[in-house]
Structure 1
């Protein structure tokens, strides 16, 4: 199953903190040697301020070796930095957490800044201190603290670049602490910001256009981060279909990350029996089959092959074989393994449905044989 693992394709599009859960999962699956996964975890951790975590990983990767002195220095530096940034941020936090101030703030950020400056002597540098402290809390693994400080910063800041950075940081923090409803709101808000950052480009725009490449890059990262939410939120699979099948994001998948098709296929199968699905979701499999067939030269795996064999080739035996492999792929995928049983139930239903649709007259013996193959074979 290691050949079908997507971690090495997905991790380059994640923040290093979001990569930790994927690597931890790989240590459980046994798809790769444990020492290689631990070495990768260590390489990620040593560049953060999670010093104790990095030391534990060092001891696992290099048993018996003396812990480098740099970790003690880094721990002292982190404690001093934390104290300094907390003091800088506390001044403005004390002001904006005042109920009277919170009630006086409006939607207009410039108006808010003027109000805070005139009445509480709060300046832009103090507001930026919220960002600095929130970012630092993120680097030490205090994701709850990070999400709070970055939230307050974004309410007041007019710095577009820092606001964008804070937006990504808060989204990652919400994901890592499992606040899925809040994370979904952040995800949608970030998508709107990405989509509106530049005016729509004409079809003749050059691929080398910096604006086009920047937006494509942001959407590619957004797609990968969204998987955490769409496969944990109650309505995530249907929301994934509606978003990923939109022309803009489907084009991004086909251009930058065709392996995301696996999650599109699985979501379409899982949403087959979803309560009150939209028309887009209800007919998504038909559309996705065409996409899978079109992108086969770029990406294929047992999950996409199952759909192709069933709806393009109408080869039920080949579809069954592909589904046997697809079950293993789903069971070893960080985002999908909780949906294994549901995926298999819906996939078997699709095979039965497809068989009945293409045969005007059905021999009851064939139906019994098909049922036995589907259920006994898995």
Structure 2
């Protein structure tokens, strides 16, 4: 299903090191030719200093035991550079001992911390540049843990208005993703978000340029965050909040990256949050708005179900999702939950329209055989997820009537009204910022 594969689209917004895991995943799938994946991986790795990995990929692609002389030379040059950096960083490593790191945790002000290190340990400003260069060398060579340690220190030593702070935040997040340290990576996502937001305080950059710069940075952050949200234990719920409830991020999705609606839609469908009904309504509205420029089986499933009430169309799209989701690097772990919740959403919507439904008809709509469909419905009733009765002899499901008290209706409408008003205000603010940025750019 190369038609629905987003790897190429998403890779445009990723660091080359982050693209490697995506290509590794595709190599075990049958979406593309194996040699084309290896060739892409080799081209990517040639731009890094991960020479051993590059040599291995070269051998696999060309089916040889030896590699070109240039790769052998590059490997030696890389090892020499790492050795030089390790020697250069030895005095700095002594400064940042365990005791020093404890002091750094206690001191939150970058300028004050820098002055303390300078007075107490003789730390010099040029050492900070050396640390930055060392972090770059180690990261490019695939030594992500070492790079991450230096970047964490740099991030704490420079103020949020210093461009090195933003660069350190990006490098630290990438390194933590690549070593699969998801708790730290989740914290780094928040720190990077704050660092991007702080760019608006930069008086040297015109407002239009600031706005466009932040838009580009947030677009990249949304893509990088997929690694974290789909691997962290609480990630899917946090993705909904990060994408849907942050007006800046929502604006970035609608402006530049509507394909990210795929991931937001999946997270909402599999969510167990009590706000799921409102979240679904909001996501369906977004999908409907952006359907002119982006569609896939996941977004079309929700559009068919909640906008068109086309159950046959929803059934067809859910069937295609059986192939699309396992082939998506980020979504493969959501397959079972999505299919189960997708069937449940179809069933709930169908039964909201009909008081009595044939089990055979339901089985067809849910892409299940009759026996499995009946067992599935029995389990729903047993787990108190629905009010219904089954007549097995007639093969019918009778839906119970659910009466909502006037008080509960008022509460729900008030909550929905407040939610809608809040979203409308956010959109008006975004529209105003867009207009100001456009006018400033036009005048320039």
TM-score by length of 1: 0.91
| Counterparts of 1:157 and 1:294, CA distance in 2 | 42
Q: Within 1, Cα distance between the matches of 2:200 and 2:359?
A: 55
Q: Name the CA distance, whole Å, in 1 between partners of 2:64 and 2:194.
A: 51
- Note if 1:78 corresponds to 2:71: no
**Match in the other structure for 1:363:** 356
Query: 1:20, 1:179 → 2: CA distance?
Result: 17
Where do residues 44-83 of structure 1 align in structure 2 (5 Å cutoff)? 44-64=44-64, 67-83=67-83
State whether residues 92 and 127 of structure 1, in contact with CA within 8 Å, keep that contact through their aligned partners in structure 2.
Answer: no
Q: CA deviation at 1:211?
A: 1.6
Q: 1:225 to 1:80 in 2, by over 3 A?
A: same
Name the residue aligned to 1:326. Answer: 321
Encode CA deviations 1:292-319: one digit per residue, 9 max, x unaligned.
1111110001111100111111111111
2:175 paired residue number: 173
Confirm or deny: 8 A CA contact 1:96 1:102 kept in the other structure: no
1:84 shift after superposition: 1.6
Q: 1:109 to 1:192 in 2, by over 3 A?
A: closer
Contact 2:51 2:74 in 1 (8 A): yes
How far, CA to CA, are the matches of 1:282 and 1:144 in structure 2?
Answer: 41
For 2:90, the equivalent position in structure 1 comes to 90
Which secondary structure does the structure 2 equivalent of 1:333 belong to? coil
| Match 1:296 to one of 291, 297, 303 | 291
Aligned residues: 364
* 1:95–1:101 contact (8 Å) kept in structure 2: no
What residue is the counterpart of 1:18 in the other structure? Answer: 18
Question: Residue 209 of structure 1 aligns to a residue in which SS?
Answer: helix
Question: Cα deviation per residue 1:38-64 (whole Å; 9 max; x = unaligned)?
Answer: 001001101111111111111222334
Segments of 5+ residues of structure 1 without an aligned counterpart are 201-205
| Comparing 75-84 and 226-235, the one that deviates more | 75-84
2:217 match: 218
> 1:98 Cα shift?
5.1
Query: What secondary structure is seen at the aligned counterpart in 1 of 2:325?
Result: helix
- Whether 1:307 aligns to 2:299 is no
Output the CA distance in 1 between the equivalents of 2:41 and 2:156. Answer: 34
Of 225-234 and 142-151, deviating more is 142-151
User: Residue 197 of structure 1 aligns with which residue?
Assistant: 199
| Corresponding residue for residue 43 of structure 1 | 43
CA pair 98-289 structure 1, distance change in 2 beyond 3 A:
closer
Judge conservation of contact 1:51–1:74 (CA < 8 Å) in 2: yes
Distance 1:98 1:186 in 2: 21
Correspondences of 1:144-293 after superposition (within 5 Å): 144-158=145-159, 160-198=162-200, 209-245=208-244, 246-271=246-271, 274=272, 277=273, 279=275, 281-293=276-288
Q: After the TM superposition, which residues 132-151 of structure 1 pair with which residues of structure 2 at under 5 Å, given as runs?
A: 132-151=133-152
The whole-number CA distance in structure 2 between the counterparts of 1:354 and 1:195 is 40
Residue 167 of structure 2 corresponds to residue 128 of structure 1 = no
Give the drift of 1:368: 4.7
1:327-366 paired onto structure 2 within 5 Å: 327-359=322-354, 362-364=355-357, 366=358
Contact 2:219/2:256 (8 A) holds in 1: yes
C-alpha separation in 1, matches of 2:317 and 2:364: 17
Q: Secondary structure at the match of 1:47?
A: coil
Contact 2:173/2:189 (<8 A) preserved? yes
- Judge conservation of contact 2:315–2:367 (CA < 8 Å) in 1: no
Q: After alignment, is 15-24 or 127-136 more displaced?
A: 127-136
8 Å Cα contact 1:13/1:224 also seen in 2: yes
Matched with 1:106 is 107
Any unmatched runs of 5+ in structure 2?
A: 373-444
TM-score (norm 2): 0.78
Q: CA deviation at 1:335?
A: 0.4
Change (3 A) 1:321 1:191: same
Taking only aligned residues, the RMSD between alpha carbons, in angstroms, comes to 2.2
